[in-house]
Amino acid sequence: MSRKVISSLILVLFLSIVFARAQNITATLVGTLKDETGAVLPGVDINIVHIRTNRSYQVLSDEAGAYRLPLLPPGEYSITAQLAGFRTEVRSGIVLQVDQVARVDLTLSVGTTTDRIVVTADAPLVSSETATVGNVIDSRKVVDLPLNGREFQQLVVLVPGGAPPVAGSNNVFRGGFNVAGSHEAFNSFTLDGVDNQSAAVQINAFRPSVDMIQEFKVAYNTFGAEYGRATGAIVSVVTKSGTNEFHGNVFGFLRNSALDARNFFDSKNEPKRPFRRGQFGGTLGGPIAKDRTFFFASYEGLRLFQALTSAATTLPLNWRTGDFSDLATPIRDPLTGQAFPENRIPVSRLNQKGAGLAAYWPKPNRAEPVRNFIGEGRTKADENQFSGRIDHQLSDTHKLLGRISYNSKEQFNPFRGESGTSGLPGFGHLWPSTAANVAIVFTSTLRPNLVNELRAGYTRWRERRVPEGLETHGDVATKLAIPGLSRDPRYFGVPTLNVTGVDAIGDYNNKDRRDNLFQYIESLIWNAGRHSVKMGGDYRRVQENNYIGATRESLTFDGRYSGHAVADLLLGYPTQTSRVIENSPIMYIRSPSFSMYLQDDWKATDRLTLNLGIRWEPVYPNYERRNTFSWFDASTGTVKVAGRDGNPRTPHKKDFNNWAPRFGFAWTPTGKTSTALRGGAGVYYNAEELTKTQASANGVPFNFPQSFIASTARPDISLDDPFAATSLVNAISNLSNRVTDWRSGYVYNWSLGLQQEVLRDVVLDVSYAGSKSTKLTTTRNINQPVLGAGPVASRRPYPQWGNITTLESNGTATYNALLMRVEKRFSKGLSFLSSYTWGHAIEIGTDRGSDAVDAGPQDSYNLRVEKGNTEFDIRHRYTLSYVYQLPWGKGRPFFNSGNSVLQALFGEWDFSGIAAFQSGRYFTPRLAADNSSTAQRRDRPNLIGDWRLPHPDPAQWINPAAFQVVRGQYGNAGHNILYGPGSANFDMSLMKNVPLSERGNIQFRAELFNIFNHPNFYIPDRTVDSAQFGKVFTAYASRQIQFGLKVSY
């Protein structure tokens, strides 16, 4: 081996350090050259040309007649094979897709090289060289399928195993999804081969316009060793590049509520809620220097105005004055135990602070016992996105890609909560955000069989939350003279008010998160006979600069003193209060990481390929720049602080034992690429959400979370002093903690499947996929009170502390699925993708914070009873997507010439669509009140009968008689034992193309979402001790219509 090659290998091993997610954005072409007798032909000169850029690649077949050319940009190619004494063989029309290993074998016949045999062929549909389970969504699908909001992530759920996110999950409003039974936070996103992800919540940072995407691949089982730090889906997006011809488009899409159907729960007597959305932009690409330098640029803008409504329960007017005469339940005086006459609280007994807080609930506008308020809020969003890319051929052996992308968005969410789309109005927030992604890719051919690729990436993600209550509500603490509420202008507004039986209110917290991710990726590919060896790695450094601000004060009323929660509020007797004494609101978390991998794709025989790999993903613990990490020492009951008293900078230990072996095989039993049996197994490690690291940052002693828990027998906390120093026996600090022996979660994945080209351009893929997850993050209160009587603090293991919410790594999960796919490549005017999944995902004790509303176990001392279905477990799901060109018009079978009127009326019509059907989602019944008296509010009822109704409907989906409210104990109802309604949805797009010239076209589009206006419902109310239990109050969108115009050139 030459000194140059040895030096290159040493350099790769030196650079191969990373917390890696190296992902392939190119394709590989492989094949064997033989003569007509079947003998292999070494030394054949093979020239491969990218049609649109005229970029050529040369390679010689080796001693076994084999050739392999990696790192080819996706697109259309021609292959020319020449050898003295044989006719020249030309294959054209070979379309390569991202991360594809396509086999194109050639047979040369005896003759002269001046004789040319030209064959138009396609790349094989069957993946005969790798075991990876996944799908490519090509440009035609990305651009032509109907997308409500034009977000490419909506297409991910078309692949087998994909599913939309759980309503209420952390990432549902950020474009999240679940794939192959995995949490939405376990997916990985790259853009042109570099990480495009917010490390805080593990979601797409920059979301590219669909018109700048060439194609993307979703891989979700049995990936090679170059892929890491993701156990869900690997989503690899490739952007468009310029070519030797100028091309681009200008587009506009409009939606208006005047064209939409009413939501299922909207009153027909009320006017429609206004909705207006405009998306517009354009692209332009072309040559700077022909055959050498190309550019591509895109812009997309969004303008959105929407009136949202939300059904909620607010305080009736008579209750606000202390009049509960309409209730049969007696309202007691907590001081005497006697019922108030006529259930009316005397004015002299009303607490003015409580009455003042009650006034912040909006007045009811419906005469209903529950959901007596239909609130309207108006959201507005302005967004602008820019992207530019340059491809430059430095020489015959060196090429460079550079791209920069930027997005800016400002949105107002009118309702309370993270997504701001439900609840009571008046407690919304402004949500400005920016995202940027930069990619540089340098590819060098060191020798004909040795190629090196170096990538550098940068991702910036900033997200702010500014509560409207800073101005609209102002200094509530001073107005109502409530001691202990913050008077800091940064935290003006209404505290969080939890009152059993009505919807909670309270202003949002002030937040400002800024994430930076720097990444360097090195890969070397060495083709050696039947072996193709790829080695390399990644270095990543993440900076999270996060201003969280103090959690807003919280006041809870559950009715334990007077018999009614609202009466307790008016009397001024909370059950529990909490606040954060803030000293350090800003955290600077740093997360360096690296990994290395080695992959050998070995052509063991002409029919069998083995994919052998090993990956090492050591984990260095995150740390806070100013040493504000702290953690709880269970042996002493005290808090340790980073950098003090000999403590390390971080409680987390290094984890160097993260070895991830990979094995896969692809076998073609007939020796042809029309049939392949594929399978494999491997170990995959999760990437950690940096939001989990916050469990150790800026806690005690830097900030003091305090909970004041009142006695169950008498009201010893009052709104006159809700955080009284005299109640120190109950004034305790809650802790967010993380165990020091935390380890990386990992997953065993395995699959076995058969791919068969059943018809020309049609492939059938049937696979079994399974996984077992170990050491997943769990959330547990290690200071949970034991059941029984007496003060809560006295029943805790550490009575001097409140809840100690601790992250541990002992959760497990399993997934088993049948995945079926029938896909037709575009030909004769038609392409389609038909996917069916039967899957079952089960979890035990995992942290469901990113996928569920009710995160955390009921009993932290008994996680085994938490075994159950996951929230994202959808047992059956079927999707069909298609693009069809009607056979009339220029270049089509009918009306392709002659009468211009007929051509204008009937020619060049296309339509596309998406149909999706799925079974219902699972959820857990729960109680609103703290019936177990453990200060956790995760109680469940007893299940005493069959919860299913013979004919469930939105008015009553669940049999309430099947549940029993229990006190002083934990209910026996299991985790996610209930399931809600299934769904059926049809979207369709109708497109009329009007040719302007040989290269120009105007396209008019009409897109209909939920075209048949089928009602699809959310899960019903899960709160058993509520009059709303088992009823459905929310439906997904009814039929919506969007019009579009696109000029392409």
The mean-pLDDT minimum among 284-293, 563-572, 739-748 falls in 739-748
pLDDT at 370: 83
pLDDT category at 852 given cuts 50, 70, 90 is very low
The first and second tokens of residue 607, run together, are: 């029919």
d(CA 611, CA 224): 7
Of 729-733, 776-780, 1020-1024, which one has max mean pLDDT?
1020-1024
pLDDT at 21: 45
pLDDT at 7: 47
* Residue reference for tokens 């002693």: 701
The pairing of beta strand 496-499 with beta strand 554-557: parallel
Mean pLDDT within 235-255: 96
pLDDT at 999: 82
Mapping DSSP to helix (H, G, I), strand (E, B) and coil, where does residue 205 land? coil
Say if residue 580's pLDDT is above 90: no
pLDDT at 689: 66
How would you class 211 by CB atoms within 10 Å of its CB: exposed for 0-12, middle for 13-18, buried for 19 or more?
buried
d(CA 523, CA 535): 6
pLDDT at 436: 97
User: DSSP alpha helices (H): ranges in 441-520?
Assistant: 469-472, 476-480
Report which of 482, 481, 471 is spatially closest to residue 507, judged by C-alpha positions: 471
d(CA 575, CA 657): 47
For residue range 658-695, what is the model confidence (pLDDT) as tens digits?
Answer: 999 999 999 999 999 999 999 999 999 987 766 667 66
Report which of 280, 260, 162 is spatially closest to residue 835, judged by C-alpha positions: 162
For residue range 937-963, what is the model confidence (pLDDT) as tens digits?
Answer: 789 999 999 999 999 999 999 999 999
Mean pLDDT within 452-459: 97
Mean pLDDT within 37-47: 95
Give the class (CATH, top level) of 19-120.
mainly beta
Q: How far is CA 652 from CA 275, 638, 647, 689, 773, in A?
A: 49, 17, 11, 15, 21
Report which of 487, 495, 484, 490 is spatially closest to residue 471, judged by C-alpha positions: 490
pLDDT at 23: 59
123 within 8 A of 182, measured Cβ to Cβ: no
Which part of the chain has CATH 2.60.40.1120?
A: 19-120
Task: Give the CB-side neighbour count of residue 204, counting CA atoms within 13 A.
Answer: 25
What is the rounded radius of gyration, in angstroms, for the C-alpha atoms of the chain?
31
Say if residue 9's pLDDT is above 90: no
For residue range 743-794, what is the model confidence (pLDDT) as tens digits?
Answer: 888 999 999 999 999 999 999 999 999 999 999 988 889 999 999 988 888 8
Report which of 158, 176, 177, 168 is spatially closest to residue 1019, judged by C-alpha positions: 168
Quickly list DSSP for 971-1030: ----TT-EE---EEEEEEEEEEEEE-SSS-EEEEEEEEESTT----BPPPP-BTTSTTTT
pLDDT at 12: 43
What's domain 133-266's superfamily in CATH? TonB-dependent receptor, plug domain (2.170.130.10)
d(CA 465, CA 395): 49
Q: What is the DSSP letter of 921?
A: P
196 Cβ contact partners less than 8 Å away, ≥ 6 residues apart: 189, 190, 204, 205, 206, 237, 437, 457, 459
Say if residue 3's pLDDT is above 60: no
pLDDT at 853: 46
Say if residue 226's pLDDT is above 80: yes
Which part of the chain has CATH 2.170.130.10?
A: 133-266
d(CA 1001, CA 1049): 6
pLDDT at 419: 65
pLDDT, mean over the chain: 90
Report which of 756, 753, 601, 602 is spatially closest to residue 680, judged by C-alpha positions: 753
d(CA 426, CA 471): 11
The pairing of beta strand 801-827 with beta strand 731-738: parallel
d(CA 499, CA 557): 5
pLDDT category at 735 given cuts 50, 70, 90 is confident
Task: Residue 888: count other Cβ atoms within 10 Å of its Cβ.
Answer: 17
135 within 8 A of 217, measured Cβ to Cβ: yes
Say if residue 422's pLDDT is above 80: no
Q: How far is CA 490 from CA 480, 547, 579, 688, in A?
A: 18, 12, 15, 30
Say if residue 1000's pLDDT is above 70: yes
d(CA 123, CA 133): 18
pLDDT at 710: 84
d(CA 808, CA 778): 5
pLDDT at 727: 55
1003 within 8 A of 995, measured Cβ to Cβ: no
Q: Which residues pair with 663 in a beta bridge?
A: 612, 681
Count of helix runs (H) and strand runs (E) in the chain: 9, 55
pLDDT at 997: 78
Per cent of the chain over pLDDT 70 is 94
Say if residue 730's pLDDT is above 60: no
Report which of 859, 861, 866, 862 is spatially closest to residue 843, judged by C-alpha positions: 866
Say if residue 17's pLDDT is above 50: no
* Residue reference for tokens 């070979």: 94
pLDDT at 15: 42
Say if residue 10's pLDDT is above 70: no
pLDDT at 907: 84
1009 Cβ contact partners less than 8 Å away, ≥ 6 residues apart: 146, 148, 985, 987, 1037, 1039, 1040, 1041, 1042
